[in-house]
């Protein structure tokens, strides 16, 4: 086991449960945290870092917390600031690598570092034109994905060429055309002195590996590393991490193999699952107490992943008197034995049984989901506490229309980022300008006066639509005043808003979220509806072989574990271009013994659900 620094009564440790506290106190040496969904992993690692800083074990300037998205990095920074460890760097792998590349390039190579290419499609299109090759946009996107996969897998072109036969070429391209197109893309990129996103990792690694002075300076700068979502690390990221460490052992990794859903992009859980083999004396901690979801939801998640490599067995932590407050063995038995759809979900509050809902077609499925959501909002549930999750983005259009029909505002996650919306950019600019001249007024008055000048009102406009969507965006900014610490000045508020915009740290908008299962990772809602659970959609039709199907299973697991209190899973017998009757997802077949047929029950007010025994 790694060395452990203890602090019996430190206030930074007081909010943690026993297992989280083990994580926080294991400050020295390799540490591996296997953390299931909703088990408080972010709390554990941020308190660990803050405790290390407060106890003097860490110099905050020499700690690097790494993750995979700008939003996750922003959350880490915010939590660390609140815990008194604001001097700690929290970045994505790419942001950390780019900062080092920009710093060392002038010293090692000379001149400024090459510009980073944001979008590969345009350059690939030009390369195709040079070859006089007609390639449609979807195929260009797939070629871009192939380039990304090759680079994050640290494969040279010769190795990649040997893999193309088994992977196949995108669209109508032959293997030879694919390889020539990639070569043309790389040539254009070099001619224009550009790097793509993946090159940033490889170039930084190459510089550290080739230049001892660079390696020494980097390793002097950072001593302690924490990697969140370690199951998503790629070979290129692991290579860079190893170079940053330089043989040292001050590394803490946190992950959950059951949430590996980016294998197609080069992510692999093998580094997480093999951590103990690499560091035989590592401190290993399992976080399995789930503080997010009800016992019934956790039971569904556990049954879905039972027997899978690296799967953790979650235990629901619920109020006294519920099933989850019973003993350890009783909790497991009660959570895992209950059949999905085994009892009606008519009662509100914790303990509502997840249900499977069957519909004649996709339109009926979408309208029924919208009606249930409308009823829940009328019962007092906030729209932003509800999500509808799906496998692919194309499923969102019919759901948007169905929600619009019942007067419910919705927002498609990933369609347009909050701070990229014109009204939000205008509001941020106006607030920053006003903050230079307005002083001494209460914060809410200053902010609301500026927002009113842009059309915001205290009361929302009637109904959904573009006007309501604009109001929701401005109102989300107004609500940030409520979250501001006491004494926050108008200038500080405007500066924080700018920092949020740069980090894409979005505020909450009062609308139902529509999201793909991939984009829902890391988020949570009180109520989750997962739609379209049919063969060919989940698992997706192109998922072939055990590994690909198992990734689809993990994707459903991620969706299920986003729900705190209520969960519904639905499928439709017909829909889209599919002319024959569709089959429910094999994952549903595993989970349920009885199904509620809601095709009429949800469509007709006051109708009694029909329960059909499918066991």
3-class state of residue 73 by DSSP: helix
Q: Is 366 exposed, middle or buried (0-12, 13-18, 19+ CB in 10 A)?
A: buried
Paired residues of 453 in beta bridges? none
Is there a binding annotation on residue 606?
Answer: no
572 secondary structure, DSSP code = E
Instruction: DSSP for 181-211, please give it.
Output: HHHHHHHHHHHTTEE-HHHHHHHHHHHHHH-
Is there a binding annotation on residue 427?
Answer: no
If you search the block for the tokens 């195709």, which residue do you land on? 128
Angstrom distance (rounded) from CA 17 to CA 90: 24
Is there a binding annotation on residue 255?
Answer: no
3-class state of residue 32 by DSSP: strand
Residue 604 has which token pair?
């007709």
Is there a binding annotation on residue 39?
Answer: yes
Return all residues near 206 (Cβ < 8 A) that are at least 6 apart.
none
CA atoms within 13 A on the CB side of 444: 8
Biggest CA-to-CA distance, the chain: 75
Return all residues near 222 (Cβ < 8 A) that are at least 6 apart.
62, 63, 64, 89, 244
Is there a binding annotation on residue 342?
Answer: no
From residue 283, alpha-carbon distances to 19, 24, 85, 253 in Å are 12, 11, 23, 11
Return all residues near 400 (Cβ < 8 A) that are at least 6 apart.
410, 412, 514
List, as own/partner pairs, every contact residues 412-419 make where C-beta atoms lie below 8 angstroms and the sequence separation is at least 24, other chains included: 412/514, 412/515, 413/513, 413/514, 413/515, 413/516, 413/519, 413/520, 414/515, 414/516, 414/519, 417/504, 417/506, 418/473, 418/476, 418/504, 418/506, 418/507, 418/509, 419/500, 419/501, 419/504, 419/506
Is there a binding annotation on residue 111?
Answer: no
Angstrom distance (rounded) from CA 104 to CA 107: 5
Known binding residues for ATP: 35-42
Known binding residues: 35-42
């Amino acid at each position: 086991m790694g060395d452990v620094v203890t602090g019996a009564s430190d206030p930074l440790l007081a909010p943690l449960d026993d297992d989280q506290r083990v994580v926080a106190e294991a400050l020295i040496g390799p540490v591996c945290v296997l953390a299931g969904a909703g088990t408080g992993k972010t709390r554990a690692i941020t308190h660990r870092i803050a405790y290390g800083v407060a106890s003097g074990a860490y110099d905050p300037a020499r700690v690097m917390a790494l993750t995979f998205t700008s939003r996750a990095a922003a959350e880490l920074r915010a939590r660390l600031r609140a815990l008194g460890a604001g001097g700690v760097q929290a970045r994505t792998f790419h942001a950390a690598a780019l900062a080092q590349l920009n710093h060392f390039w002038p010293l090692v190579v000379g001149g400024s570092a090459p510009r980073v290419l944001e979008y590969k499609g345009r350059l690939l299109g030009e390369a195709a034109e040079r070859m006089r090759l007609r390639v449609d946009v979807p195929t260009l996107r797939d070629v871009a994905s192939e380039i990304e996969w090759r680079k994050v897998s640290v494969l040279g072109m010769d190795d990649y060429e040997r893999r193309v036969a088994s992977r196949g070429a995108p669209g109508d391209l032959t293997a030879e055309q694919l390889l020539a197109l990639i070569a043309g893309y790389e040539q254009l990129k070099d001619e224009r002195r550009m790097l793509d996103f993946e090159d940033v990792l490889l170039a930084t690694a190459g510089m550290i590996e080739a230049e001892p002075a660079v390696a020494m300076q980097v390793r002097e700068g950072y001593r302690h590393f924490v990697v969140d979502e370690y199951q998503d690390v790629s070979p290129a990221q692991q290579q860079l991490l190893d170079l940053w460490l330089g043989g040292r052992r001050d590394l803490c990794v946190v992950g959950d193999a059951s949430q590996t859903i980016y294998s197609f992009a080069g992510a692999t859980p093998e580094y997480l699952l093999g951590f103990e083999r690499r560091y035989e004396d590592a401190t290993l901690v399992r976080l399995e107490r789930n503080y997010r979801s009800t016992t019934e939801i956790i039971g569904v998640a556990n049954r879905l992943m039972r027997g899978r490599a690296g799967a953790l067995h979650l235990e629901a932590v619920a109020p006294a008197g519920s099933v989850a407050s019973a003993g350890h063995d009783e909790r497991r038995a009660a959570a895992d034995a209950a059949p999905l759809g085994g009892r009606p979900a008519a009662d509100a509050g914790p303990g509502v049984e997840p249900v499977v809902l069957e519909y004649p077609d996709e339109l009926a499925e979408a309208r029924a989901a919208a009606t249930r959501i409308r009823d829940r909002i009328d019962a007092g549930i906030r729209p932003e506490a509800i999500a509808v999750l799906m496998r692919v983005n194309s499923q969102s259009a019919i759901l948007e229309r169905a929600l619009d029909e019942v007067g419910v505002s919705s927002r498609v996650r990933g369609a347009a980022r909050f701070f990229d919306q014109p009204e939000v950019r205008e509001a941020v600019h106006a607030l920053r300008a006003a903050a230079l001249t307005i002083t001494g007024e209460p914060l809410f008055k200053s902010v609301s006066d500026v927002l009113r000048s842009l059309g915001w009102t205290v009361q929302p406009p009637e109904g959904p639509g573009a006007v309501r969507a604009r109001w929701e965006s401005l109102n989300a900014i107004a609500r940030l005043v409520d979250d501001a610490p006491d004494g926050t000045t108008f200038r500080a508020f405007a500066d924080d808003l700018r920092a949020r915009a740069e980090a894409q740290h979005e505020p909450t908008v009062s609308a139902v979220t529509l999201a793909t299962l991939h984009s829902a990772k890391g988020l949570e809602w009180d109520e989750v509806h997962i739609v379209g659970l049919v063969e060919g959609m989940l698992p997706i039709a192109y998922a072939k072989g055990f590994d690909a199907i198992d990734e689809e299973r993990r994707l459903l697991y991620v969706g299920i574990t986003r729900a705190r209190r209520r969960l519904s899973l639905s499928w439709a017998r017909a829909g889209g271009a599919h002319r024959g009757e569709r089959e429910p997802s094999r994952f549903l077949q595993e989970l349920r013994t009885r199904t509620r047929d809601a095709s009429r029950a949800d469509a007709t007010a006051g109708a009694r659900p029909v329960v059909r025994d499918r066991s």
